[in-house]
Amino acid sequence: MRKIFFTLTLLLFTLRIFGQAIPNTEFSKDYYLQKSKNKKTTGWILLASGAVMTVVGVVGFSNSDFLDDSSDRYGYLMLGGPVISLGSIPFFISYGNNARKAATLAVTNQPIYIPRQGSLVLNSQPSLSFKINF
């Protein structure tokens, strides 16, 4: 009974080990372009919202009395705006890294026209192209 239990347990663990798939870590150019676009949009949204919060805080703080509770709220807005704006920096850095990963170097066949016997014939020639997509 122990041998059967041990054999079944060993078999189940062995099947589990060999049944796992190796994840594909290579991503396509479109993946990096979409990721870059999302990071850029998030960075701009954070930067703009931080700037708006700072301006609203400064204007509200300068127009309120110092004894009101509203001056505290405007003070928090005035101090929180730059913090949110600084939070956009990692998104812009990540945007640049993903955009560089999306830049590709490819070998393609470029169609060219070659004159032959009084007419032009379409022929393909290997070419090296470097693309930077924004």
Residue 47 lies in a domain: yes
The per-residue pLDDT for range 112-132, each reduced to its tens digit, is 888 888 788 888 888 777 766
Query: What is the rounded distance in angstroms from the CA atom of residue 113 to the CA atom of residue 68?
Result: 79
Residue 58 lies in a domain: yes
pLDDT for 20: 54
- The confidence band for 17, taking pLDDT boundaries of 50, 70 and 90, is low
pLDDT for 11: 67
- The confidence band for 98, taking pLDDT boundaries of 50, 70 and 90, is confident
Query: What is the rounded distance in angstroms from the CA atom of residue 63 to the CA atom of residue 73?
Result: 12
Q: What is the pTM of this model?
A: 0.60
Residue 7 lies in a domain: no
pLDDT for 114: 81
Residue 120 lies in a domain: no
What domain count does the chain have?
1
If one compares 121 and 91, the residue with the highest pLDDT of the two is 91
Residue 40 lies in a domain: yes
Residue 43 lies in a domain: yes
Give the domain extent around 65: 25-101
The per-residue pLDDT for range 21-61, each reduced to its tens digit, is 666 666 777 788 899 999 999 999 999 999 999 999 999 88
Query: What is the rounded distance in angstroms from the CA atom of residue 81 to the CA atom of residue 85?
Result: 6
In the DSSP assignment, the letter for residue 93 is H
- The confidence band for 87, taking pLDDT boundaries of 50, 70 and 90, is very high
Contact by Cβ (8 Å): 84, 49 = yes
The per-residue pLDDT for range 54-75, each reduced to its tens digit, is 999 999 888 877 777 777 888 8
pLDDT for 56: 93
Residue 84 lies in a domain: yes
Residue 125 lies in a domain: no
Backbone angles phi, psi at 38, to 5 degrees: -65, -40
Contact by Cβ (8 Å): 40, 92 = yes
Query: What is the rounded distance in angstroms from the CA atom of residue 2 to the CA atom of residue 49?
Result: 67
Give the number of other Cβ atoms within 10 Å of residue 34's Cβ.
14
Contact by Cβ (8 Å): 83, 65 = no
The per-residue pLDDT for range 100-112, each reduced to its tens digit, is 877 765 667 788 8
